[in-house]
Structure 1
Amino acid sequence: MPNDNPSIEDLLSKKTPKNIQDPLSSKQEDEDEQTQLQNKIGQIERQGNEKEVEQKAGELGLQYADFNKTLIDREALPLLSRQDMETLKAVVFLNQSGQLRVGVTEPSESAAKKLQELSQTQNAQGAMYLISEDSFQKALKTYDSLPKKPKLQKAVAISAEDLEKYKEEVSDPSLLPEKIKNIPLTDVMTIILAAGIQAEASDIHIEAEEAGIKLRFRLDGVLKDIAELDSKMWDQVISRVKLLSKLKLNITDKPQDGRISIELPEEELDIRVSTLPTSYGESVVMRILRSSAIGLEFSDLGLRGKIFNDLKREIERPNGMILTTGPTGSGKTTTLYAILKKLNKEGTKIITLEDPIEYKLKGVNQSQVDKSGNYDFAKGLRSILRQDPDIVMVGEIRDLETADVAINAALTGHLVLSTLHTNDASGAIPRFLSMGVKPFLLSPAVNAVIGQRLVRKICPKCKQETELDSQKITRVMEILKSIPVNSGFAPDMSNAMKFYKGAGCEQCREGYKGRIGIYEVFIMTPKIEKLILAGQVSENDIKQITQGEGMISMVQDGVLKALDGITSIDEVFRVTE
């Protein structure tokens, strides 16, 4: 007779008879089956939603993406902040090989503008895709899973908090030597940087000398001695600089270039670091590039009256060439950036070619030359012209090849901005001709040439009247008398002239605060074109014609600004002699 009771073997077997299965296990299986059913229902609903979105995309003339099938580019996602993603209901899901793709749950004008902006900044071909809410939420989860970057510390071991702390302690650079004696060696570079930032220095120089270390700041264009440091600090200081700027510690006999990036609460800093081997050790120069420096408007450059109106008219032309001239540190790049900022409007494509890129401009495609990679100004400019730009900025024209490409661009419907290293505006044309540029191409290509210098402005807090000695008075009178009558600037010589200086105060220390440009601008005219076509052109020939047509020189502009109390006569003579 068969035995219905399970045997020990049955109880121990892998397949337990269903009629005596553990109630808890049975309940778990039921829940699993229910979950699977719900997942299938959810999947069917999602597939239905995706089909609806795909159909809607076709009706709107958009492409469609499903992030359950399409891989999200994790490096592209952060191109939009999370706040922008939620506001626009948009995500950047691809940025590769010159292709940039943005998915939106609902097309909008705001999303379209953002796509255009990103396409320009990334130098890529943009495309908008329609995505479902499910895909959008998946992208948000992916974004949230990305490694978080420290907000106040970009590739640098100096924190914004430390800089802010030390900035308060070294509001006066003269306090720096005493402060350095009382801090750890590891903080020496932090306090030096803090002092430089607080003093609004453009460059920090750390120089090895026989007796010690010399620390100097370039303030408003003038190099000032700040402190003498103990030579025992040298190894620690130079090693710290190299670590921060990712330079090789073991290379001391060759120049090196690096950079430090710091994000402060009020602005971003990009610090370019350069080392150079010298007799007593490596010399270090740190150039501080501040994001706030690009806020200068065209109207704030210091151009006035006829000069301002003439140049404004020329930069608004759709083609031709605008050149700035002057030595290194005369403000040429600042002038070009201010012009670009004025011209940067919707519907205009601007591309720059720089060495290096000093400041990032929103809505402008910026490219950096790489000589080691055989990407120089001439090759870069040819590539840029294939990108359909309206306006092109070339950091500098140094040779015939670059000059020819730039002039050809100016003659074929592009506005070209660039710089030349000549002493004044009148020297630009002879410089081009000496390079080998053909006169019949040069004359129709150039719209305007700007010559410039930067002068320190008198501190408004301590400005006071001053008297000039007889020699300076005589020189000032000669300069004022030589101002062309048709310039629009001829001063009234019958009135008593007043001049000013800064006495020095807590805010400025030496009587100056900030800088402003002094300019000369000549516009291409038929007389100058005729002179160029003749082939033999000197600076004096250009000056005679331009002054006869009403151009004032840099020194004349400077003296007029001194009469207005903006700068001092000594400062004008310092930068123009």
Structure 2
Amino acid sequence: MVKLSKTPIDDKLADLRKEAEERDAARISGMENIPYINLRETPIETEALELLSEKIAKETAILIFKKEGDEAHVATRSSASEGYAKAKLLLEEKGLVVVPRIASISSIREAQEKYKSIKEEEMGGAANRIEIKESEIKERISLEDVEKEIGEIREELDTSKILKTITKGALSLRASDIHVEARAKNTEIRYRVDGALHSAGSIKSEIGARISSRIKLLSNLKLNIKDEAQDGRFTIYKNERPVEVRASIVPSEYGESLVLRVLDPELVGLGITDLGMGELDEKTVRRVIKNPNGMILTTGPTGSGKTTTLYAFLKEKNKSQNKLITIEDPIEYHLEGVEQTQVSEEDNYTFVSGLRSILRQDPDVIMIGEIRDEETAKTAVDASLTGHLVFSTLHTNDSIGTIPRLIDLGVEPSVLGSALNIVISQRLVRKLCPSCAKEKEPTQEMKENIENFLSSMPEDRRVKSWSLRENGDCKECLGGFKGRVGLFELFEVDERIEEILNEVEEDKNIINKLKKITQEKRMISLKEDGILKALNGDTTLEEVESIAGPIDWTVYKNRE
């Protein structure tokens, strides 16, 4: 092989390119009114390089070439670049004043080679991850304890430590969401625990703005965009175990409002028994998911536990002889043994295209994050009819409403009867704290209402010994509640319902017919499941009504 060497002409062309780049850098310098520097003629201080890691320097396309007192002299292609904004934030968090200089990108890249002479552990890396040890998370912490820790946050503290304090509080309280909300005079911190928001104090607005910038940095969002909504995600390492956090940032009147959804895998590793279904409902579900094909849908509003239920079903089906594939938007929790894929508009990987690709992977079980449109609905139904067990979610108010919703999405009614196995409508209610819940004496009228209700229930659903309880308040809980339990409504498709679906083209009054059959079968509604759980002491009637709506006791007065 002939080895080609550079010619004088090649060297000359390279020099001309460098000169052109330097002229361009000088032009940008004039436009931005920031001094120009030629890094090829400038000494690079090792102490300056050590302020940020090589990885961060290359990601942001900057170079710190000099440190003088509390000043960090930074070379950048443009002071308007996203990379410079990130580097500036990180350096300012170290208490440094950033002095920018404009340089050519090629000279910055050449100067970055000097990092090779520095050991990685000597460099000051960006806090690109939040690490929390198990010992730092208190098992029996109260909201007051968290509020006290947040109240001790001071402006001189490192932003990473401040954010760690806030996230540590969320993990200790087992919060699902952290709200960081800009107000007129400060920034309020709130946690959503068991579905309810609780204030945990406030911090200075300046600190709130720093937290917003840090979240953007961690989530790879644009630091200089403050008038548009942005979504991203980052990872907390809880004793080296990853906990995903979804970040949503929107502009508000006094700054930016942040909501961080904490996706702790410890809170989703539930089996079917852990969901809180009644004994008969659990037996029904276990029987139905043994089917090798068909469709199982969960319905309810956002935050009603639909995904958690489907993950419990996946866990049940996750055997060595089964291949399970999901398509989600986004992947909320990572499940070992399950092939999980994520919707990506940039890559044109939608629920429809992803589902078609998945079907070519020879799966036994498919989970579709949500059925949103006609194509997804039809493809999911086709998959359930061709030997696959399909799990998915749908937004409807109750289980019966799934039928007209799927018909509206273009699914043939006659096909639905064969494809659909069961629809599970669900909500989540707060559970009473076992440490402080107390007995509640019902009025005579309430006693009569409850006896009428129980008399109307099927024999195998009646609570033989009931009592009402109410919430207390103690150090173990928040306002007398601890954890949540599901309310469930199961609509199983049988031969009678199939017959109705086959006749639907001639009879548009499908909802009334379906309701009549479910009443004859004595299907337990969401609200009725809630009443039974309240009579069992799991929650309160007031909590059931707040989630499932007012209870009309007169309905049960003369029902047999």
The answer, yes or no, to whether TM exceeds 0.5 is: yes
| Distance across 1 between alignment mates of 2:393 and 2:538 | 26
* Correspondence list, 1:121-132, <5 A: none
1:566 pairs with 2:529: no
- The residue identity in structure 1 corresponding to 2:490 is V
Partner of 2:557: none
- C-alpha deviation, 1:273, in angstroms: 0.9
Confirm or deny: 8 A CA contact 1:430 1:537 kept in the other structure. Answer: no
1:442 aligns with 2:416: yes
In structure 1, distance between residues paired with 2:364 and 2:347? 27
- Counterparts of 2:180 and 2:489 in 1: how far apart (Å)? 36
With over 3 angstroms needed to count, the CA separation of the structure-2 counterparts of 1:522 and 1:192, relative to structure 1, is same
Answer whether contact 1:456 1:514 (CA < 8 A) is retained.
yes
Give 1:411's aligned amino acid. Answer: L
- 2:323 corresponds to 1:349: yes
Deviation at 1:468, TM superposition (A): 4.0
1:520/1:557 contact within 8 Å kept = yes
Which residue in the other structure is 1:275 paired with? 249
Q: CA, structure 1 residues 183+297, in 2 after alignment: closer, same or farther (shift >3 Å)?
A: farther
* SS of corresponding position for 1:303: coil
Report if the CA contact (8 A) 2:129-2:237 is conserved: no
Deviation at 1:412, TM superposition (A): 0.7
Mapped pair 1:178 → 2:151: yes
Counterpart among 480, 502, 509 of residue 511 in structure 1? 480
- Counterpart CA distance in 1 for 2:473 and 2:233 is 34
User: Is 1:391 equivalent to 2:365 in the alignment?
Assistant: yes
Q: Structure 1 residue 228: deviation in Å?
A: 2.7
- Amino acid paired to 1:559: I
Aligned ranges 1:55-454 → 2 under 5 Å = 156-161=128-133, 165=136, 171=142, 172-181=145-154, 184-186=157-159, 187-265=161-239, 267-454=241-428
Residues 398-547 of structure 1 correspond to what in structure 2 (within 5 A)?
398-468=372-442, 476=450, 479-485=453-459, 488-492=460-464, 497-535=466-504, 536-547=508-519
SS at match of 1:235: helix
Change (3 A) 1:209 1:477: farther
Q: Alpha-carbon deviations, 1:492-541, whole Å to 9, x = none?
A: 4xx6x411123111110311111111111111112211222222254443
Amino acid in structure 2 at the alignment position of 1:509: L
Q: Could you give the per-residue CA deviations for residues 178-216 of structure 1, whole angstroms, max 9, x where no partner exists?
A: 222487152221211111111110000111122321211
Aligned residues of 1:185 and 1:233 also touching (Cα < 8 A): no
Offset at 1:319?
0.6
Distance 1:481 1:267 in 2: 50
> Whose radius of gyration is greater, 1 or 2?
1
**Structure 2 runs not aligned, ≥5 long:** 1-118, 550-560
Return 353-362 or 454-463, whichever deviates more: 454-463
Q: Secondary structure at the match of 1:426?
A: coil
> 1:277-324 deviations in whole A, cap 9, x for unaligned?
122221111010112123211121112232111111111000100000
Q: In structure 2, what is the equivalent of residue 129 of structure 1?
A: none
Q: Distance in 2 between matches of 1:529 and 1:160?
A: 53
CA distance in 1 between counterparts of 2:301 and 2:369 reads 14
Q: CA deviation at 1:544?
A: 2.5
**Structure 2: distance between partners of 1:519 and 1:508:** 25
Q: Residues 477, 377 of structure 1: CA spacing in aligned structure 2 closer, same or farther, 3 A cutoff?
A: farther
Q: Which piece of structure 1 moves more, 378-387 or 248-257?
A: 248-257
In structure 1, how many angstroms separate the alpha carbons of the residues matched to 2:400 and 2:388?
24
Please identify, of 175-184 and 526-535, the stretch whose mean Cα deviation from structure 2 is larger: 175-184
Partners of 1:189 and 1:472 lie apart in 2 by 49
Residue aligned with 2:189, SS: strand
Letter in 1 for 2:365: I
Change (3 A) 1:354 1:537: farther
CA contact (8 A) 1:483 1:556 kept: no
Deviations 1:378-422 (A, max 9, x none): 111111001000110100101111010000011111100000101
Structure 1 vs Structure 2 CA RMSD: 2.6
Cα pair distance change 1:155/1:481, threshold 3 Å: farther
Show CA shifts across 1:146-175 (max 9, x none): x999xxx998343324x8547699753332
Match of 1:550 in 2: 522
- Any conservation in 2 of the 1:480–1:490 contact (CA below 8 Å)? yes
**How far apart, in 2, do the equivalents of 1:321 and 1:479 lie?**
33
Counterparts of 2:337 and 2:139, CA distance in 1: 36
Q: Is the 8 A contact 2:463 2:535 kept in 1?
A: no
Structure 1 unaligned residues grouped into runs of 5+? 1-146
Residues 541 and 159 of structure 1, relative CA distance in 2, 3 Å threshold: same
CA distance in 2, matches of 1:189, 1:469: 49
Residue identity opposite 1:448 in structure 2: I
Q: Are the structure 2 counterparts of residues 193 and 469 from structure 1 closer, same or farther at C-alpha, using a change threshold of 3 Å?
A: farther
Contact residue 400 and residue 436 of structure 1 kept, 8 A: yes
Deviations 1:413-463 (A, max 9, x none): 110000010111111111111222111111110000101111111111112
Contact 1:167 1:191 in 2 (8 A): no
Q: Which amino acid aligns with 1:198?
A: S
Q: Greater CA deviation, 271-280 or 174-183?
A: 174-183
CA distance in 2, matches of 1:530, 1:234: 60
Q: Give SS of 1:306's match.
A: helix
Query: What is the SS of the residue equivalent to 1:217?
Result: strand
Residue 473 of structure 1 deviates from its aligned partner by 5.4
Cα distance 1:168–1:405, how it changes in 2: closer, same or farther (>3 A)? Answer: closer
Q: CA deviation at 1:256?
A: 1.4
Alignment-derived partner of residue 103 in structure 1: none
Q: Is the 8 A contact 1:220 1:456 kept in 2?
A: yes
